[in-house]
Amino acid sequence: MKEQLEAIQAEALERISQTEDMKELQDIKVAYLGKKGSLTGVLRGMGKLSKEERPVVGEIANKVREVITTAFDGKSEKLEMARLEQQLEAEAIDVTLPGRPVKVGGPHLLTSIVEELEDLFIGMGYEVREGPEVETDFFNFEALNLPKDHPARDMQDTFYITNELLLRTHTSPVQARTMREYKGEKPVKMICPGKVYRRDTDDATHSHQFTQIEGLYVDKNVRMSDLKGTLDTFAKKMFGEEREIRLRPSFFPFTEPSVEMDISCKVCNGAGCNVCKGTGWIEILGGGMVHPKVLEMGGYDPEVYSGFAFGMGPERIAMLKYGVNDIRQFYTNDIRFLKQYHKA
Instruction: Please report whether residue 226 would count as binding other proteins according to CB under 8 A.
Output: yes
The least distance separating other proteins from the CB of residue 218, rounded to whole angstroms, comes to: 10
Instruction: Please report whether residue 182 would count as binding other proteins according to CB under 8 A.
Output: no
Nearest to 287 by CA among 209, 337, 235: 235
Largest interatomic CA distance in the chain? 128
Q: Which of residues 246-265 bind other proteins (CB under 8 A)?
A: 246-251, 253, 256-260
The least distance separating other proteins from the CB of residue 90, rounded to whole angstroms, comes to: 21
In this structure, the chain runs to a length of: 344
Instruction: Please report whether residue 236 would count as binding other proteins according to CB under 8 A.
Output: no
Question: Contacting other proteins (CB under 8 A), which of 26, 27, 233, 273?
Answer: 233
Q: Is the dihedral of CA 165, 190, 221, 225 positive or negative?
A: negative
Alpha-carbon distance of 114 to 315, in angstroms, equals: 10
Of residues 187 and 299, the one with the C-beta less far from other proteins: 187
Of residues 15 and 237, the one with the C-beta less far from other proteins: 237
Q: Which of residues 129-148 bind other proteins (CB under 8 A)?
A: 130, 132-136
Of residues 31 and 124, the one with the C-beta less far from other proteins: 124
Instruction: Please report whether residue 241 would count as binding other proteins according to CB under 8 A.
Output: no
Q: Which stretch binds other proteins (CB under 8 A): 6-14, 15-23, 44-52, 336-344?
A: 336-344
Q: Which of residues 304-333 bind other proteins (CB under 8 A)?
A: 306, 330-333
CA dist 220 → 183, 231, 326 (Å)? 15, 19, 42
Binding mask 83-122 for other proteins (x = CB under 8 A): --------------xx-xxxxxxxxx-xx---x--x--xx
Alpha-carbon distance of 16 to 72, in angstroms, equals: 7
Q: Which of residues 5-64 bind other proteins (CB under 8 A)?
A: none
The least distance separating other proteins from the CB of residue 249, rounded to whole angstroms, comes to: 4
Q: Is the dihedral of CA 152, 157, 163, 168 positive or negative?
A: negative
Of residues 85 and 164, the one with the C-beta less far from other proteins: 164
Q: Residue 218 pairs with which residues in a beta bridge? A: 188, 307
β pairing state of 165-167 and 134-136: antiparallel
Instruction: Please report whether residue 224 would count as binding other proteins according to CB under 8 A.
Output: yes
Residue 240 has phi, psi (to 5 degrees) of 120, 145
Are residues 182 and 190 in contact, defined by beta-carbon separation less than 8 angstroms? no
The least distance separating other proteins from the CB of residue 278, rounded to whole angstroms, comes to: 9
Question: Contacting other proteins (CB under 8 A), which of 216, 222, 265, 327?
Answer: 222
Residue 99 burial (CB < 10 Å; 0-12/13-18/19+)? Answer: exposed
Residue 316 has phi, psi (to 5 degrees) of -65, -40
Instruction: Please report whether residue 268 would count as binding other proteins according to CB under 8 A.
Output: no
Question: Contacting other proteins (CB under 8 A), which of 34, 76, 79, 228?
Answer: 228
Question: Contacting other proteins (CB under 8 A), which of 1, 33, 124, 319?
Answer: 124
Instruction: Please report whether residue 152 would count as binding other proteins according to CB under 8 A.
Output: yes
Are residues 231 and 124 in contact, defined by beta-carbon separation less than 8 angstroms? no
Q: Residue 252 pairs with which residues in a beta bridge? A: 255
First to last CA, the chain: 77
The least distance separating other proteins from the CB of residue 220, rounded to whole angstroms, comes to: 7
